[in-house]
Structure 1
Amino acid sequence: MAQPLALDVAAHGEATGWRKGEHLIDALAYIDPLSQEEKAAVDALIMEELKSSTKRPQDYLKEMPALPDFNLEGHPVLKAEYERVKAGQPMAQLDTTRYRLDEPPLNRRNDVAAWKAALDNAHSQLEHQYNRLLNLELLLQFGPKAWQAHIRHLEVGHKRLEETLAETRKAVEAVNRERKVVQLQAQSEMADYESRWAATVAKNREIEAACRELETHLASLRQQLPAQDSGAEKDPFGVREGVGEGSDHTGANGQASEMDES
C-alpha cells in the first residue's frame, strides 16, 4: 500500500486551529491507485480502531472549543428562560383564562367584585378583538405591498447567495483542477524516480551478489594453498618473488646500458 504524504510544513489550520499539534496528512488522490483489497484493508483497520476506542460519537464535541458565555445582563426574561432550559425544567403552561369568558363560580355568583372582574375580562377581550380587526384592515390595505417589498428583498439576498455559491464552487473546481494538473505532471517524474530507484536497488543487489561470489572464490583459493610452504602462506601469489626478479633484471639491464654507453 502506498504510504501517505506527510507534509513537514504545517498548514495554517494545523498551526493555529483546533487541530493544532496534529499531523497534516495529504494523499495524491488523483494518481494514487487504491485497489479493492487495499480499501477493504483500510476499512478493516478503521473498524478495529473504532472497536478498541473508548471514545463515543458524542465525545467528539469535547474537542471543539467551548462556546462563549452569553451576556444576559439586562435581559431578566432571557436569563430566567436560559436557566430553566439549563436545569431541564418544563416550560410553564400558558394562562388561557384571559382568553375565555367565564362566569364567576357558583359560590361567588352574588359577589359584585367577581362579576366586576369577569366584566373587565370581557372588556379586555373585546378590545383585543378590536385590535385584531384593525390589524386585519391594515394587512388588507398595506400587506400586499409590504410582502412584495419583502419578497424582493429576499430575492436580492437569494441572488447574492447564489453568486457567492457559484464563485465558491468555481474556486473549488479551480483548486481541484490545479491539483489534478500538478499531480499528473508529477506522476511521470515520480515514476521516473521510482524506476531509477528500482534499477539502483537491483544493481546494488547484483554488486552484493558479485562481491559474495568473489569472497567465496577467494576463500576457496586460500584453502587450496599448500599449508607447508610458509613463504607461500606469507606471499600466496608470489608477488615478492616477482618483484625481486624484476629488480635483478632491471639492475642487469642497467649495467648493460652503462657498458654500451662507455
Structure 2
Amino acid sequence: MADISGIVDALPYVDAGYDTPGVREAVTALVEEEMKRYRPTKDYLQNVVSNKFEVFQTDLMKAEFQRMAENKPMEKLDFKKYQQQPKPAINRRRDPTAWEECFDRVVVLHNHMVNRLTNLQLQAEYGAEIWRRYIPTVERQLKQIESELRDTRNRIQEINWERKNKQLQAGEKLSYLETSWVNLVAKNYEIEKVCLELEERISEWERFHEAKRLQKAQEKPNAQESVRPKSLPAPVDDSVATTDAEEIGPMPAT
C-alpha cells in the first residue's frame, strides 16, 4: 500500500467549522502529536535523494565546512598591516630582520594609502558622471524587477484562484457524493428492513403451511376410520332355522 502520510487532504475553501468550540484545541493537539513524532536533524536533506555535492567543493569550501562542523569561530580580518606600525622594539633595533619586517609593513601601508588616494581622485573626477550614466541602468533594472514582481503576484493570484476553484469543485463533488452515500445508505436500510419483513412473513407462511400439513396429516387417519364399512350379520344356521319354523308352525292360510 502506498504511503499517503504526506498527502494534504485539507480544503481550506470548503472546510467549515473552524470557529466551532473545541476545534482549535483539537487541531493544536494534532499538531503537538505530529511534532512529537518529528525529530529534526542537522542533515535536513537526509530523506532527499542523495547528491554528490563534494565534486563542486573546493579546498577552501571543504575547510570552511569543516570549521562549521567543528563549531569553530571564523577568523577575523587582520587590519594591523593597514595601520601605522611603530619602530622595532629597543632590544631588536640592531636586528636587520626586525627592520625588514617593519619596512615591509610600511610599504604595504604606503601602497594601501596610495590606492585609497587614487580611488578618491577617480571618484571625484568621474564618479558623478558614472553615476549619472548608471542611473538609467538602475531604473531599467528597477522597472524590470517591478514588472517581474507584478507578474509573480498575478501568477500567485491566478494560482490562488485556480486552487480555490478546484477546491470548490471538489467540495461540490464531495457534497454530491456524500448526499448520494447518505441516500444509498438510507435505501439500503429500507431494503434491509423490507427484507426482514419479507423474511418474517415467509417464516409465518412456512409455519402456517407446516401447521396445515400437520393438521391434514392428523385428520386423514380419522377420515379413513369413518369411511370403513360396518361388520356383516352372522350367518344363520339352517338347522336352527328349521327347528324354529317347526316350533312356530305352518303359516296361517290367507
TM class, shorter-length = 0.5 to 0.7
Alignment CA distance shift 1:61-1:183 (3 Å): closer
Paired with 2:170 and 2:23, the residues of 1 have a C-alpha distance of: 23
Paired with 1:82 and 1:160, the residues of 2 have a C-alpha distance of: 37
Shift of 1:98: 6.2
- My pick for the range that moved more, 160-169 or 113-122, is 113-122
CA deviations 1:69-124 (Å, max 9, x no partner) are 35466xxxxx2464154144555552725633321221233456654654564455
Paired with 2:97 and 2:214, the residues of 1 have a C-alpha distance of: 143
Match of 2:198 among 214, 219, 223: 214
Shift of 1:29: 3.2
| Residue 13 of structure 2 corresponds to residue 30 of structure 1 | yes
CA RMSD of aligned residues (A): 3.8
Alignment CA distance shift 1:57-1:84 (3 Å): closer
- My pick for the range that moved more, 214-223 or 83-92, is 83-92
Alignment CA distance shift 1:190-1:167 (3 Å): same
* Secondary structure at 1:61 match in 2: coil
| Residue 69 of structure 2 corresponds to residue 83 of structure 1 | no
| Residue 156 of structure 2 corresponds to residue 202 of structure 1 | no
Alignment of 1:107-118 (within 5 A): 107-111=91-95, 114-115=98-99, 118=102
Corresponding residue for residue 252 of structure 2: none
| Residue 29 of structure 2 corresponds to residue 49 of structure 1 | no
CA deviations 1:1-29 (Å, max 9, x no partner) are xxxxxxx9xxxxxxxxxxx9976445443
Paired with 2:102 and 2:167, the residues of 1 have a C-alpha distance of: 82
Query: How many pairs align?
Result: 208
Match of 2:214 among 215, 228, 244: 228
* Secondary structure at 2:45 match in 1: helix
* Secondary structure at 1:103 match in 2: coil
- Amino acid of the residue matched to residue 26 of structure 2? A
Shift of 1:208: 1.1
- Amino acid of the residue matched to residue 50 of structure 1? M
Q: Which has the larger radius of gyration?
A: 2
Shift of 1:150: 4.2
Alignment CA distance shift 1:152-1:61 (3 Å): farther
Alignment of 1:1-262 (within 5 A): 24-35=7-18, 36=20, 37-51=22-36, 53=37, 55-56=39-40, 58=42, 60-65=44-49, 66=51, 68-71=53-56, 79-80=59-60, 82-87=62-67, 88=70, 89-92=72-75, 94=78, 96-97=80-81, 99-111=83-95, 114-115=98-99, 118-119=102-103, 121-184=105-168, 187-188=171-172, 190-224=174-208, 225-226=211-212, 228-229=214-215
Paired with 1:188 and 1:112, the residues of 2 have a C-alpha distance of: 92
* Secondary structure at 2:13 match in 1: coil
TM-score, normalised to structure 2, is 0.62
Paired with 1:83 and 1:155, the residues of 2 have a C-alpha distance of: 41
- Amino acid of the residue matched to residue 86 of structure 1? Q
TM-score, normalised to structure 1, is 0.60
- Which has the higher relative contact order, 1 or 2, with Cα contacts under 8 A spaced 6 or more apart? 2
Alignment CA distance shift 1:185-1:21 (3 Å): closer
Structure 1: state its 5+ residue gaps: 1-7, 9-19, 74-78, 233-262
CA deviations 1:199-232 (Å, max 9, x no partner) are 2321221121122122223323433424633669
